[in-house]
Structure 1
């Protein structure tokens, strides 16, 4: 079945709403904001063409494009789009277009490389630069109805990918061979092939397909699972290991459609699993179910994390919950949208309350060294009565 296809251009009224909320948030701290990062540029301008979006505290933004101008004009509904040859020309171009240079300029300092920051500091020498990244991330954390529909479509495609897995798994096939076929199928549904992450050094290629003990192999990635990968140059993901019988097979994939993501994990098995692995998987399903009822608007994300950790300990899995060893991760879920690591984080010490319209991937997992991984991940919409799962394939282990 072919996936949902449409042009993915963000509607004009959606962009106007985003602009209004950004201007309201920036006024207490900046006279203007310069959007540079690709994901934020797409969020506010519906294009990732190389350039800058200047947002004044009042009035319409100016989209300045280096490459490709004609394409940016087709993709963005903003009326004021001009060509820019160099970042050094930005102040003069703004002045020519009738914009007053800001006394205080907001930049995305969480992702801006140091050399670029120094360049902008020199270019806008009369402006004081402040960080606007947290404000942008908080605004992006609450999804509009349009964004929720985009994520629903991605989740629908993700469900189709997981329904395909049983056709591809076979004893003796390598993890990477199965992963390649599954990823090819995802592309046929419209998967964009790029999964964006905000964290510096964050990389992911579709996701992880890992089997048996290899699934419990830790890696540098901010994830409970790592995998062998095909070489130390990658250091994560599917490897050359042959898939065997009677071992858990973790498929943890992200579907990316028209920019928006759905994160999803299930366990498969050729044959049977030991009783202790079955019990651990059921414990993770029980934790997920409790959180779905408890995670209502207003509850602090750090409190959800502590609830999940406490329940895992009560069930006897504190040693292996979300990894093993001293460097296991300290989160149990994360926001999902245009990036895989959006606000909010279900993490230790987090004080951000859930809000209606947030989208979170909840991922309780047990990682047992030399045995494998069991557990679950679903993308959920935060509603008034709890979490609504957007990925809907069966949570139970699929035995083949």
Structure 2
């Protein structure tokens, strides 16, 4: 970047009185520079920027990166230090949540006392919080693949089919449709395993009378999809159906209040209070959702601990759940974009109660 085009980045420079920011985290490197490889360092200055990488990525970087590209021949950190010193920077920010203590100590030893470091953590988190139109196109494309893949796999949901078989077929279908990779390890949790919020697919067979929770996603142009569906295999008992209805009410009620300016903690409270009022508050232990973009979990966290407000352009999940040991569980999740008028869904699999008739 020859100019500080990102508002959040400009604000960090001013607030922290920085000459430059040194970026090691690959999602931020991709966002700021355009580089899609897996090894490099991006040095963002107020008037010029430099991207440093080795011979494996030099041709790729020269095509992708919007900055001066510098090839590192031996010690990459030494090349970074030389670039910092040659530009005469006095105060440099560092993405502290990504850089290890050992790497930081080595870098400090290379530059000596010639510059002052400013460790950035929470300051950088909002950098990718508001999505551009191009980002939303990729996020929508990834969400659309979820819908298509799920429809193709739906006939598999029968007693005797294993959770792993469903997860594998979802993966194959998403990749056939153009998905780059799994967004995360798919969760397929049936019966009592539904009480595991992160119950990745196992060899357990689906059985009649169970609920099964499927949480999956893919990647398109580096951007992730994330969606959770809970289905009934045949007839389920009244208790399981009641749990499902409560989670769906919490999910839908949270969606109804989304608007720019709303405190995120208040959004979380809408869903949480419905579940608690029905007597299941202790069984909803995680936050209501999270940001989605170049990472599957990114800013903002959608939880009771958040001190942020919703902003138009944020992409977040809404995913309340109830998880009861030895009984099972339900989670229902959509990914949405906050708009000036409220919200729009990116994911589109129907979330109302669905029973697979046997």
Structure 1 length normalisation: TM-score?
Answer: 0.82
* CA spacing shift, 1:194–1:108, aligned 2, 3 Å: farther
d(CA) in 2 for partners of 1:91, 1:354 = 39
Cα pair 2:33 2:67 within 8 Å, conserved: no
Quote how far apart the aligned CAs of 1:16 are.
Answer: 6.3
**Kindly tell me: are residues 194 and 185 of structure 1, through their superposed partners in 2, closer, same or farther at Cα, counting changes over 3 Å?**
closer
Q: 1:74 aligns with which of 39, 60, 63?
A: 63
Does 1:27 find its partner at 2:14?
yes
Residue 377 of structure 1: aligned partner:
333
2:49 to 61, 69, 72: 61
Does 2:39 correspond to 1:87? no
Gaps of 5+ in 1: 1-11, 196-203, 218-224, 228-236, 322-327
Distance 1:18-1:317 versus aligned 2 partners, 3 A rule: farther
1:297 matched residue in structure 2? 260
- Superposed, 1:1-400 pairs within 5 Å as 18-19=5-6, 21-29=8-16, 30-49=18-37, 50-56=39-45, 58-66=46-54, 67-76=56-65, 78-85=66-73, 86-94=76-84, 100-125=87-112, 126-193=114-181, 195=183, 204-205=184-185, 207-217=186-196, 225-227=197-199, 237-321=200-284, 328-329=285-286, 331-400=287-356
Please say which of residues 39-48 and 162-171 is displaced more in the overlay: 162-171
Cα distance in 2, alignment partners of residues 75 and 194 from structure 1:
24
Query: 1: distance between equivalents of 2:68 and 2:187?
Result: 42
Give the C-alpha shift of residue 171 in structure 1: 1.6
Range moving further from structure 2, 153-162 or 67-76: 67-76
Distance 1:124 1:341 in 2: 34
Q: What is the alpha-carbon distance in structure 2 between the residues aligned to residue 335 and residue 18 of structure 1?
A: 22
* Displacement after TM superposition at 1:173 (Å): 2.0
Q: TM-score, normalised by structure 2?
A: 0.91
CA offsets 1:12-42 (integer angstroms, 9 cap, x no match)? 9xx9675564234323212111111111111
Return the alpha-carbon distance in structure 2 between the equivalents of residues 79 and 319 of structure 1.
51
Residue aligned with 1:278, SS:
helix
Query: Does the 8 A contact of 1:280 with 1:366 survive in 2?
Result: yes
Contact between 2:253 and 2:270, CA under 8 Å: does it hold in 1? no
Runs of 4+ in structure 1 off by over 6 angstroms are none
SS in 2 for 1:134: coil
Shift of 1:94: 5.0
Over aligned residues, Cα RMSD in angstroms? Answer: 2.0
Task: Give the Cα separation in 1 of the matches to 2:5 and 2:224.
Answer: 19
Name structure 2 gaps, 5 residues minimum: none
Contact 2:182–2:217 (CA under 8 A) maintained in structure 1: no
Aligned-pair CA distance for 1:79: 4.5
C-alpha contact 1:246 1:272 (8 A) present in aligned 2? yes
Conserved? CA contact 1:168–1:182, under 8 Å = no
Q: Partner of 1:28: helix, strand, or coil?
A: helix
Matching residue of 1:7? none
